[in-house]
Structure 1
Amino acid sequence: MTIRVNGKVVTPSGVIWQGCVEVKGDRISAVAEYPSARDGHWIVPGFVDIHTHGGGGHTFTTGDAGQARAAAAFHLGHGTTSLLASLVSAPLELMRSATTAFAPLVRDGVLAGIHFEGPYLSAARCGAQNPEFLRDPSAEELTELIKLGDGAVRMVTIAPERAGALEAIELLTRHGVVVAVGHTDATYEQTRAALSAGASVGTHLFNGMRPVHHREPGPVVALLSAPGVVCELVADGVHLHEGTLTFATSTAGPERCALITDAMAAAGMPDGEYELGGQEVTVADGVARLSRDGAIAGSTLTMDAALRSAVTAGVDVPDAVRMASTTPALAVGIADQVGALQVGLRADLVVLDDDLNVVRVMRAGAWVE
């Protein structure tokens, strides 16, 4: 059976204003002009969120497989067809059990991988990470988790100034695990050393990082100026000012900027009291903060909302789509399967109206109910 979806098709090379995406089975079989198309909807690749802790009242941070399935299903309804399950800083026991629980979900395609955001982070820049669990990188721990996951561990965030960080980065990259620099008080030079060791992503750029200073540019400048490094951006109007978002995008380009949600369980849920990594979180007016000190505690963002926010800030639609799909897929090594409307890739697409609201979602050639 062949499915044809007509509209304004956003491809890596630009927009086909009267176009068609043809799907056979679970793959894209053709992307072409279709002059008789009457549907004015945007047709974009499924979103790829490489940093999310949960959503729809469900969390990845406890390592519960049922919660993970439900969180992934929530984000799928908002156009995210591929995502990493991000954990926060935790004891090794929880990291082990989460890896064991999530590895089958990765094999089944429910998740694109596991992201450990910590615990190898800076106490000075820990943000909403639980300081009780922060520690130096351990080659023994990482080796065990890599073996346990058998390909499921996709990314680890590390503060490069911690003892043993460079060795850990080299270990991870040798095993095909992406290393991100984040929650760090590193200097410019320390960050550059991490990049030389193999780190290739900046975890939520600007947030949880030593700020830029004209005599100590710090991690932000090191990451923005490094060819091949992808910088995560949380486009929720809380983590970043619109001017900061557009500055980063114009500096690094959409091919090196990835929109992420950094969402927690409260995404899509009412204001109220929640939990993140063993810490109480209060959500008010859709903004999640630690109850104890008011630190930003992830977000309540979805990827479709992030796309709209980026466009509102001044990023044009094709560039924003690249940042929501193609660039993050490249960042974590899954661009050979997803992230673009190209022949041979998995048939993941999102139909958006002119206000960029989700109309329909297709994953692996099937429309999502």
Structure 2
Amino acid sequence: MVDRNDSRPSSERVFAVRGALVIEKKLTPGALVVEDGRIAAIHRGTIRDDELPSSIIEADIVSPGLIDLQVNGGFGYEVGANPTAIDRLSAALATTGVTAYLPTFITAPADVYPGVFAAFERVDHRAGAIPLGLHLEGPFIAPARKGAHQLRSIEAADDALFGSWLAVESIRLVTLAPERIGALDRIWRLVERGIVVSLGHTDSTFEQFITGVDAGANMATHLFNAMTPIHHRAPGPMVAAMTDQRVTAGLIPDGVHSHVATVQLALNAMGPDRIAIVTDMMAAAGLGPGTYALGGQRVTVDEQSARLDDGTLAGSIVTMDQAVRNIVAWTDVGIATALHMCTAVPGRVLGLATKGHFYLGADADLTLFDLHLQVQHTIVSGRFVYSEGDE
């Protein structure tokens, strides 16, 4: 990667980025012109220097910024009632190519949620990757498929807690189980308010899952995990998610939550337009082996996974850039398609009009890679929030 003039143009300047652009699941040679934080021009084919602004960033691969719909924490920071922790997480995520994400808060006692909502209102949206809103994962989930969520808070969750959420503008996505009593009404009320509903941590039948989709849910949380297993006479939620064309599934390609073969199975069954790559990162991601915390519980991390004392998986330690490399290495999709599942698909799930793909006037959220899919620069609204070599 070569920059003829300035490796980190300021957000006030006009600059170009030239390389293989990720457009419609293909790598297309060309260049983008960025002006005032937005994409001002898209050139395809060979573009001479004199046709571009004076400041040109050369990259092997130019992708829309990566969007992660499920981030519990990472790099020592956990999503919760501390806005500084979210700010530092935002800065750290930029090193992995993420330009926007949903801070994800797992099941907790009812009296904890107001502090989480208040903390989100105080976050710095210029710290790095942009926190788009909260993903509340639980507590309206199946006790039998609770994973690392605390049972007592699942059992205590009631209509009063749910009702308190409906006026909270920062909630963008909620994971719940469709078979729980009152779930269909909750789905309808959330969707009515523009909140995306994802079905997960569920012990539902095939039919119950479809009923949840009929009520307005359009996503499945971390496909294959915390779900009723597949049986050929009782296919359950996994098959329902893969076969219902209305559903987009979150998928964690870390080799632990999803075996390589099940990642390919999901791609074969759903196609890349219905899979959103997510990390489900927890606080220890990026730190290495040790003992950490998730939702007040002790988590032991080794080289591959994060687990509670009883062996239950407790989020992942994969980063989004590594997830992209895994998809390319393990499946029959190419680089552009893998990046599509981390950009355009999650952008569509959230209804983002200006993120996730390249078009005139879109936010200049860009992730620049080398040929080995190592992140070289992360750009948010035209600002360079990370460059290779930054401390």
TM-score (norm 1): 0.94
1:118 maps to what in 2?
138
Task: Identify which range, 129-138 or 173-182, moves more after superposition.
Answer: 129-138
In 2, Cα distance between equivalents of 1:247 and 1:95: 37
| Residue identity opposite 2:139 in structure 1 | P
Residues 26 and 124 (structure 1), Cα distance of their counterparts in 2 relative to 1, 3 Å cut: same
1:67 maps to what in 2?
85
Offset of 1:349 from its aligned partner? 0.6
Task: Identify which range, 28-37 or 260-269, moves more after superposition.
Answer: 28-37
- Number of aligned pairs? 363
**Per-residue Cα deviation, 1:210-236 (whole angstroms, up to 9, x for no partner):** 011100010011111112211000011
Offset of 1:255 from its aligned partner? 0.9
For the 8 Å contact 2:25–2:340, the answer to whether it is kept is no
1:362 aligns with 2:362: no
Offset of 1:138 from its aligned partner? 4.1
Q: Secondary structure of 1:221's match?
A: helix
Unaligned stretches of 5+ in structure 1?
Answer: none
Offset of 1:41 from its aligned partner? 0.6
For the 8 Å contact 2:31–2:47, the answer to whether it is kept is no
For the 8 Å contact 1:203–1:231, the answer to whether it is kept is yes
2:70 maps to what in 1?
51
**Per-residue Cα deviation, 1:239-275 (whole angstroms, up to 9, x for no partner):** 1111111110121111110000000011110210001
| Residue identity opposite 2:348 in structure 1 | L
1:297 aligns with 2:323: no
For the 8 Å contact 1:120–1:136, the answer to whether it is kept is no
1:247 maps to what in 2?
265
In 2, Cα distance between equivalents of 1:11 and 1:106: 30
| Residue identity opposite 2:369 in structure 1 | L
In 2, Cα distance between equivalents of 1:101 and 1:28: 32
For the 8 Å contact 1:28–1:347, the answer to whether it is kept is yes
1:338 maps to what in 2?
355
In 2, Cα distance between equivalents of 1:282 and 1:41: 38
For the 8 Å contact 1:3–1:22, the answer to whether it is kept is yes
For the 8 Å contact 1:106–1:152, the answer to whether it is kept is no
1:93 maps to what in 2?
111
| Residue identity opposite 2:17 in structure 1 | V
In 2, Cα distance between equivalents of 1:263 and 1:9: 28
- Bigger Rg over Cα: 2
1:211 maps to what in 2?
229
Percent of aligned pairs sharing the same letter: 36
Offset of 1:143 from its aligned partner? 3.1
1:325 maps to what in 2?
343
Q: Which of 200, 210, 213 is matched with 1:182 structurally?
A: 200
1:25 aligns with 2:36: yes
RMSD of equivalent CA atoms = 1.7
Residues 37 and 230 (structure 1), Cα distance of their counterparts in 2 relative to 1, 3 Å cut: farther
In 1, Cα distance between equivalents of 2:323 and 2:198: 21
For the 8 Å contact 2:249–2:276, the answer to whether it is kept is yes
In 2, Cα distance between equivalents of 1:226 and 1:318: 25
Offset of 1:107 from its aligned partner? 7.2
Offset of 1:162 from its aligned partner? 0.9
In 2, Cα distance between equivalents of 1:110 and 1:86: 13
For the 8 Å contact 1:127–1:297, the answer to whether it is kept is yes
| Residue identity opposite 2:64 in structure 1 | P
Residues 311 and 351 (structure 1), Cα distance of their counterparts in 2 relative to 1, 3 Å cut: same
Unaligned stretches of 5+ in structure 2?
Answer: 1-12, 50-57, 387-391
**Per-residue Cα deviation, 1:150-170 (whole angstroms, up to 9, x for no partner):** x21001110111111111111
For the 8 Å contact 2:204–2:237, the answer to whether it is kept is yes
1:260 aligns with 2:288: no
